[in-house]
Structure 1
Amino acid sequence: MAAASSLKLQIEGMDCAACALKIETAVARLPGVSDINVSYAGGTLALNVDPDRTSQRTIEEKIRALGYRPAGSAPQARPALPTKRVREPWWQATKARLVFMTGALFAAAFVASFFLPEWDTWLYATAALISVVPFARRAVAGALAGSPFSIETLMAVAALGAVAIGEAEEAAVVIFLFAVGELLETVAAGRARAGIEALIDLVPRTALRRASTGVTETVAVEALAIDDRVVVRPGDRIPSDGVVEEGSSEVNEAPVTGESMPILKEPGAKVYAGSINANGELCVRITHVAADNTIARIIHMVEEAQESKAPTARMIDRFSRWYTPAAMAVAALIMVVPPLAFGGDWMTWIYRGLATLLIACPCALVISTPAAIASGLAAGARQGLLIKGGAALETLGKVITIAFDKTGTLTRGHPKVTDVIALSGSDDDVLARAAAVERNVSHPLGVAIVEAAKERALELPATFGGGIAVPGKAVTARLKSGFASVGSPRHAAEGTEIPADVRDRVLALESEGKTVVVLMAGKKIEGLIALRDEPRDDAAEGVRRLKARGVNILMLSGDNQRTASAIAAGLGLEARGELLPDAKLAEIGRLKQAGPIAMVGDGINDAPALAAASVGIAMGGGTDVALETADAALLRDRVEGVADLIALSQATLGNIWQNIALALALKAVFLATTLFGVTTLWMAILADTGATVLVTANALRLLAYQPPK
């Protein structure tokens, strides 16, 4: 027996959630098939299949029997570069041909009835019976494949029943309107898919590759390898992820990350595929091949997310399995109970029962959730908010607590000079001398001191020989004026007596969560420098926006409690410090007992906590870990992105419940009017079609969603 292999098929004509459910039910009955994922939003069927038990051809024949067309297959592995489907114009689609055919038959019967009025019933009956054949075949195929109560079944039974009781004209109209409704679903589904496929246009198909000789040549993007150098001219799109090696320019990353302002890129800066180079020529070293760049990952992740079902969608799928047969039973009771129990007219109540069948079509209800989820995922991807599935998108809107890691999440991830206190000379003198001592050292504190001196454009004193570092204590270098050292207050206290007022200053700075270093010349203290990993520029605003939505926020950190509390106090949130990874994991578990919790981290050292939370959110500008480990990732690497995620999720949940309420309300209204004899058959099918179109249109509004500021 061969091992099960992965298969992914593109399905043409699968334009609603009910269609996807029918295909899933049929394929699940085939031997050797497992792990089925059907996405109406993506128009795909993914599964595992044992080829010795069921061949790909058998699967495709089963799909064709249901009235859909397998348009191509691909392995589950990611393609070399995402490509668009070749789509035929809507008026050439199978469903458009059905509209034209049913419309032409009805029009022919209508015209002929003027010349042969005595034959009008037979003319309309003939038109209706011919028109219903394609739908009846799909209904029979669905019944044989395990879906006896499909939408086609309801429509075919209603149409044939109308012909049987002499309402052939209405039967022909019903079939035509049903075909129109299916075509409208196709057009709407195409618009939703275009929202994601538009990302594919962001990546150029060619690049200017620079050879080792300096000569450039135009090559296909797929031909680029890691460590290739490419030239990106002003106005060009960056062909793949990489690092700038030469040149400087502003780069518009809005198409990828949603960042509205161009960002200055200089040597060493990361750039993303699809970003637009603005005003200078760049030489970029490629770090990801075309199949693995940020755009390809975004598209792949959103496609996978659309294939996964949200909890509400699964609930509605279960609901629809008994809803449709229950609706048929109710329609049957409407047909027989009034005539038998109350002496009602048989034809009148059969007619009303048939109208009830049409009103009961669950298409609008079934599509209410997946349409909104697909639009929400696409809207998020356009803004650099990557969400790995409908379940994560739903859960985000329900979280009651958000836990942030500190370093690299709420803070910049590297120390910055906050205070310079001169005890001898000026502040600039102290900073310049300290930077001179530290300039050849790679310790983060030393790098921060040198960076601060550069920002002030200070001229550094010359040193004689390299600095000598004693780990955990000090760095010493020889300046023109003699030996100078930059070290910890404890090290300084070992070499000299620290005055009481200086000790007080050190303690005051440390109480603010800052690290203090002492500049000494010989045994004389010349100044103090305080450093701290400062909050991100948008951290306070991001926290404020989350609090405004009623979310509880706290910070979980491995730093000492004093440092964690100082940072948290400035942002207006609670802090829990000195948490080792296992303690942080236990804290997430404790908080989770009170309700859904989201954990926000850098996607590397916080992986256990991200996995344990209800939703894990990774910061990190599209790094491999950020895209692979968490349930959601923020390409813009901003704290406000968490608030944007929550806002998008809540907007999507609101859209879902609007759709459900709209679908059920319309059905309730038309059911009542049907029982009182107001609704005709063509009005009933128009009501169902209209509800489906309204629900889909409402869901598509999310494609233009912008988070509130």
Structure 2
Amino acid sequence: MTAETFESRYRVSGMDCAGCGRKIDTAVRKLPGVEDVSVAVQTGALKVRHGGGLADEAVLQQLRNLGYDGEPVAPATGPGRPPAGPAEAAAEHAAGPWWWTRKARLTALCGLALLVAYGVGTVFPAVERYAFLAALAVGLIPVASRAVSAARYGTLFSIEMLMSIAAVGAVFIGAEEEAAAVVLLFLIGEMLEGVAAGRARRSIQGLAALVPKTARVEVDGVTTEVAADALEIGAVILVRPGDRVPADGEIIEGAGDLDEAPVTGESVPRRKVVGDAVFAGTINGGSVLRVRVTASASDNTIARVVRLVEEAQESKSPTERFIDRFSKVYTPGVLVFGALVAVAPPLLFGGAWNDWIYKGLAVLLIGCPCALVISTPAAIAAGLSAGARRGLLMKGGAVLETLGKITAIAFDKTGTLTAGKPIVTDVVGGARESAVLLSLAAALETGSSHPLAVAILARAKADRIAPPPATATRAIAGEGVEGEVAGEVAFLGSPQAAARRASISPSQDAAIAAFNAEGKTVAVLVVAGEVAGFLAMRDEPRPDAVSGLADLKARGIRTIMLTGDNRRTAEAVAAGLGIEPRAELLPQDKLVIVKGLQAEGLVVAKVGDGINDAPALAQADVGIAMGGGTDVALETADAAVLHGRVRDIPDMIALSQGVMGNIRQNITIALGLKAVFLVTTVLGVTGLWPAILADTGATVLVTANAMRLLRWTPSHKAP
């Protein structure tokens, strides 16, 4: 019998770089009963999987041993136990402003001590060395303490260890002043890393603040203000103009334009009417709405987006995994190389010991891997956050990286390339005028939920046509609907069924055939034994489908439309979109097509609604769900687009390519600066100060470069 597994989550403060994450991962894994550890530096999250019996205090004490603070954000979860709630999953460990953090205070104290040392050394030259030793101790003791703790709990080659070795070595060769300055620069760099990491963390967690704290619940006509996180599914809430919607729900009364930009990135407010879904955090710009709550606070759209992005940041991309493996070899290699620089020239070539030891210590500082290690996760985190804030959700760095390599995309037709709802495109009168024809057809379809009936009723409403009452209506299987309207017997159905009730002229036959060739469904109305006219209906392409597909083609990406519809309909829709059609497909056929594309050497994305064609979505290199924030859209596929636009797919690919370009820039900055300063140090041009600047400066530069991605926006305006 398999032992039960539990999962505990913690929020960690002071964890600002990938090196911090590795130290925590290594130390927590040493605790008894721990099976797996996942650290998300960008969100400050720690997830521990264990067999039960692991006390929170043991984990928190291990964090304190390393110099970090933490707190549990959810009880251990396992089979039959609930997952972390929304506020717990999104809430950030309480902290003051950045200038009052522990790192900022230590940096300020070290800077003050160094200024005092300069002053004392100027006034009393005889004690200058001791003054700088004291200033060095202020900054070095906490750093060395963290180095020893990290080594004790499994991480020997930490940045703090390299820093401590370099500073102590500098003292032995009489460079106390420079050692103190280098420690200060190191602390400044760490502080700046913390500021940048905090900014990235807040960019996604700030979404949670969009949901109002209170909601107006209506019961029997009486409105009461309650906490938004206490809302129950099925409750009716009142949303006034200008208010933010406090929960996911469905409009049961009222209509208005809702600003969904905070959730989906959609810049144009969307018109919502009775029956439409609304998202928590969106802004009601119209009249008063009554909304029935459809999701708890722990499962509203924003809570799920925050949770999804946090979990995604725990998933490393191939590039990030490579950099991690490289750094494990790189850091010991730097130590060996630094030692060789320090001792080989004096031993082999008679070089001055002090000079070469100084250069060896500088090499240690140059070789610190922080900038290199943070170069990838910082960009991935910023990219995931930027996408999520615009309704583009990707489950981890691997998905984000793969999207930029896509060479073929297979789209479902219905609900993906098309709106998923047929509309009346043509009303052709015969024996009756088109307005009368539409009113009679609407009369017969009143009360029906069939998609074609809904389309006819919607067209009548849009044309402000009130259908007359119909009596004795009945559905005739495989044919249509029949009833009595204004004293006349009327039938609405397929051309074949209509032909058995009335004579269809050759010109009408030709018109029907033309509509069928365009992929439209035709319903013929027969009244009192003669053809009154007919209506053509089709599930029309989304407004942005043509431009979105054109963008993909311009990027050299092959596009294919997969559908179970008949070949004639598929070819008609595909011709208008400029896409390659594959028709009359079963779900297993779509899977075979995806496999075939992969066999051709293509990197394939499959785009669908997240419900049907699950095998094809799973087989594709990236499965993308189109949806409006539903559970399926957020949880089934590798990626999801909240507002369901075809235009979002090239945007997602552009974001991926932008992130990968940013990563390449970061790696170039990190390694380029190190290479330059390594050469100048060995040649004796630069020393310890520039060496630490090469490390902390590069770390700050790559972090700042990654943060530029938070301002990413699509290169087009939404239609």
Q: Same fold judged by TM-score > 0.5?
A: yes
Q: Which stretch has the larger CA shift, 569-578 or 513-522?
A: 513-522
Q: Which stretch has the larger CA shift, 434-443 or 550-559?
A: 434-443
Q: 1:33-88 CA deviation, whole Å, 9 max, x = no partner?
A: 12311011011110112344x54333322222222222444236222534343212
Q: Amino acid of the residue matched to residue 113 of structure 1?
A: G
Preserved CA contact (<8 Å) 1:8 1:46: yes
Q: Which stretch has the larger CA shift, 297-306 or 436-445?
A: 436-445
Q: Amino acid of the residue matched to residue 281 of structure 1?
A: V
3-state DSSP of counterpart to 2:540: coil
Deviation for aligned residue 1:370: 0.8
Q: 1:402 aligns with which of 400, 406, 409?
A: 409
2: CA distance, partners of 1:585 / 1:243:
35
Preserved CA contact (<8 Å) 2:12 2:93: no
Deviation for aligned residue 1:565: 1.4
Q: Which stretch has the larger CA shift, 543-552 or 297-306?
A: 543-552
Following superposition of structure 1 onto structure 2, how do residues 664-675 of structure 1 map, counting pairs within 5 Å? 664-675=671-682
Q: For residue 656 of structure 1, what is the aligned residue in structure 2?
A: 663
Q: For residue 70 of structure 2, what is the aligned residue in structure 1?
A: 70
Deviation for aligned residue 1:124: 2.2
Q: Which stretch has the larger CA shift, 485-494 or 37-46?
A: 485-494
Alignment of 1:160 onto 2:168? yes
Following superposition of structure 1 onto structure 2, how do residues 606-625 of structure 1 map, counting pairs within 5 Å? 606-625=613-632
Alignment of 1:238 onto 2:239? no
Preserved CA contact (<8 Å) 1:129 1:160: no
Deviation for aligned residue 1:129: 4.2
Q: Amino acid of the residue matched to residue 276 of structure 2?
A: A
Alignment of 1:45 onto 2:51? no
Q: For residue 535 of structure 2, what is the aligned residue in structure 1?
A: 529
Q: For residue 413 of structure 1, what is the aligned residue in structure 2?
A: 420
Q: For residue 145 of structure 1, what is the aligned residue in structure 2?
A: 153
Q: Which stretch has the larger CA shift, 665-674 or 96-105?
A: 96-105
Preserved CA contact (<8 Å) 1:372 1:702: yes
Following superposition of structure 1 onto structure 2, how do residues 20-419 of structure 1 map, counting pairs within 5 Å? 20-52=21-53, 54-75=54-75, 77-79=83-85, 81=87, 82-129=90-137, 131-212=139-220, 214-419=221-426
Alignment of 1:485 onto 2:491? yes
Deviation for aligned residue 1:146: 2.2
Q: For residue 14 of structure 1, what is the aligned residue in structure 2?
A: 15
Alignment of 1:568 onto 2:574? yes
2: CA distance, partners of 1:85 / 1:57:
16
Q: 1:384-423 CA deviation, whole Å, 9 max, x = no partner?
A: 1122211111111111111111101111112112223333
**CA 1:247/1:435 → structure 2, altered by over 3 Å: closer, same or farther?**
closer
Preserved CA contact (<8 Å) 1:78 1:300: no
Q: 1:330-356 CA deviation, whole Å, 9 max, x = no partner?
A: 111211222233222221111111111
Q: Which stretch has the larger CA shift, 694-703 or 20-29?
A: 20-29
Q: Amino acid of the residue matched to residue 124 of structure 1?
A: F
Deviation for aligned residue 1:130: 5.0
1: CA distance, partners of 2:620 / 2:472:
48
Alignment of 1:627 onto 2:634? yes
**CA 1:625/1:41 → structure 2, altered by over 3 Å: closer, same or farther?**
same
Deviation for aligned residue 1:211: 1.4
Preserved CA contact (<8 Å) 1:440 1:466: no
1: CA distance, partners of 2:707 / 2:542:
34
Q: 1:542-588 CA deviation, whole Å, 9 max, x = no partner?
A: 11222222221111111112211111110111011111011111212
Alignment of 1:553 onto 2:554? no
Q: 1:413-445 CA deviation, whole Å, 9 max, x = no partner?
A: 121122233333433333333333333433222
Q: 1:475 aligns with which of 464, 481, 496?
A: 481
Deviation for aligned residue 1:497: 5.2
Q: 1:190-236 CA deviation, whole Å, 9 max, x = no partner?
A: 11111112112111111111112x11111111221111111111221
1: CA distance, partners of 2:449 / 2:57:
62
Preserved CA contact (<8 Å) 2:95 2:101: no
Count of aligned residue pairs for this structure pair? 706
Deviation for aligned residue 1:522: 4.5
Q: Which stretch has the larger CA shift, 199-208 or 477-486?
A: 477-486
Q: Amino acid of the residue matched to residue 346 of structure 2?
A: P
1: CA distance, partners of 2:386 / 2:466:
50
Q: 1:101-127 CA deviation, whole Å, 9 max, x = no partner?
A: 322332232222123323323432343
2: CA distance, partners of 1:563 / 1:674:
71
Q: Which stretch has the larger CA shift, 157-166 or 67-76?
A: 67-76
Q: Amino acid of the residue matched to residue 149 of structure 2?
A: A
Deviation for aligned residue 1:495: 4.1
Preserved CA contact (<8 Å) 1:539 1:640: yes
3-state DSSP of counterpart to 1:240: coil
Q: Which stretch has the larger CA shift, 192-201 or 65-74?
A: 65-74
Q: Amino acid of the residue matched to residue 572 of structure 1?
A: G
2: CA distance, partners of 1:80 / 1:591:
40
Q: For residue 472 of structure 2, what is the aligned residue in structure 1?
A: 466
3-state DSSP of counterpart to 2:11: strand
Q: Amino acid of the residue matched to residue 182 of structure 1?
A: E
3-state DSSP of counterpart to 1:412: strand
Q: Compute the TM-score of the two structures, normalised by the length of structure 2.
A: 0.94
Preserved CA contact (<8 Å) 1:441 1:467: no
Deviation for aligned residue 1:239: 0.9
Alignment of 1:435 onto 2:442? yes
2: CA distance, partners of 1:347 / 1:125:
19
2: CA distance, partners of 1:424 / 1:496:
12
Q: 2:510 aligns with which of 497, 504, 509?
A: 504
Unaligned regions of 5+ residues in structure 1, if any? none
Preserved CA contact (<8 Å) 1:419 1:531: yes
**CA 1:461/1:66 → structure 2, altered by over 3 Å: closer, same or farther?**
closer
Deviation for aligned residue 1:459: 4.7
Q: 1:288-325 CA deviation, whole Å, 9 max, x = no partner?
A: 12111111111111111122222211111111100101
3-state DSSP of counterpart to 1:467: strand
2: CA distance, partners of 1:394 / 1:466:
61
Q: Which stretch has the larger CA shift, 65-74 or 172-181?
A: 65-74
2: CA distance, partners of 1:9 / 1:180:
27
Q: Amino acid of the residue matched to residue 559 of structure 2?
A: I
3-state DSSP of counterpart to 1:534: strand
Preserved CA contact (<8 Å) 2:98 2:104: yes
1: CA distance, partners of 2:313 / 2:489:
65
Deviation for aligned residue 1:517: 2.0
Unaligned regions of 5+ residues in structure 2, if any? 78-82
3-state DSSP of counterpart to 1:219: strand
Preserved CA contact (<8 Å) 1:437 1:477: yes
Q: 1:351-389 CA deviation, whole Å, 9 max, x = no partner?
A: 111111100011011001111111111111211112221
Alignment of 1:426 onto 2:427? no
2: CA distance, partners of 1:483 / 1:550:
57
Deviation for aligned residue 1:592: 2.6
Preserved CA contact (<8 Å) 1:440 1:467: no
2: CA distance, partners of 1:358 / 1:80:
42
Question: Over the residues paired in the alignment, what is the CA RMSD in angstroms?
Answer: 1.9
**CA 1:460/1:222 → structure 2, altered by over 3 Å: closer, same or farther?**
closer
2: CA distance, partners of 1:550 / 1:379:
25
Deviation for aligned residue 1:537: 1.2
